[in-house]
């Protein structure tokens, strides 16, 4: 098993985190892993300025996963009332399938539970990503049936397919 450390991201990590997240979600590099959105969306998932805002935000954190000094993964957590929204879970594409994402998600849930005393987690996933939905369901997340429109952000991304949406998933600890 890989020896991993988990810690909250600092502003100095923003550029590296943005590069990791973009490589895991979009573009040709993302095709090395199984979580790619390259066939669904063009452009970037995020940029360093957005990551800095998330790190600086109130009741917001990015948990990062490292092996020695190498950044292998990250996930964003945002407290909203008595629940935590989980987003942008990313693992280096060439390292996907080794259990890093599973361990990172568990560490994120534990960190949120300790920091904010919450036991309810929510996330939004593109429903046609059946393998990703199955990953989260194996971790105890349940589909709510609530569908919302996919966000529009032409400065960062452009849909390649029509009718993209997001389905909400939730988990109670």
CA distances from 104 to 22, 66, 161 (A): 18, 10, 30
Q: What pLDDT score was predicted for residue 159?
A: 94
pLDDT at 1: 81
Give the C-alpha separation, 147 to 150, whole Å. Answer: 9
The strand pair at 157-159 and 41-43 is best described as antiparallel
Q: pLDDT at residue 35 above 90?
A: no
The residue ranges of DSSP E strands in the chain, in sequence order, are: 5-8, 41-43, 60-67, 70-80, 83-91, 120-125, 142-149, 157-159, 165-172
Task: Look up the domain containing 75 and give its range.
Answer: 5-172
Number of domains in the chain: 1
CATH at residue 64: 3.40.630.30
Query: Is residue 114 very low, low, confident or very high in pLDDT (cuts 50, 70, 90)?
Result: very high
3-state secondary structure of 146: strand
Q: What angle do CA 145, 156, 107 make, to 5 degrees?
A: 55
d(CA 4, CA 63): 12
State if pTM tops 0.85: yes
Please state whether beta strands 60-67 and 165-172 pair in parallel, antiparallel, or not at all (unpaired): unpaired
CA distances for 17 relative to 37, 101, 169, angstroms:
18, 15, 24
The pLDDT of residue 27 is 86
């Amino acid at each position: 098993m890989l020896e991993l450390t988990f810690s909250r991201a600092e502003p100095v990590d923003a550029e590296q985190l943005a590069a990791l997240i973009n490589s895991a979600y979009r573009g040709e590099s993302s095709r090395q892993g199984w979580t790619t959105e390259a066939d669904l969306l063009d452009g970037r998932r995020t940029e360093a300025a957005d990551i800095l805002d998330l790190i600086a935000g109130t009741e917001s954190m990015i948990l990062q996963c490292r092996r020695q000094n190498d950044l292998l993964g990250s996930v964003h957590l945002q407290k909203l009332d008595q629940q935590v929204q989980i987003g942008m879970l990313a693992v280096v594409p060439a390292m996907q399938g080794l259990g890093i994402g599973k361990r990172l998600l568990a560490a994120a849930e534990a960190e949120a539970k300790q920091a904010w005393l919450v036991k309810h987690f929510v996330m939004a996933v593109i429903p046609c990503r059946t393998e990703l939905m199955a990953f989260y369901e194996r971790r105890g997340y349940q589909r709510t049936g609530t569908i919302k429109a996919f966000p529009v952000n032409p400065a960062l991304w452009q849909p390649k397919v029509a009718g993209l949406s997001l389905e909400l998933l939730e988990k109670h600890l």
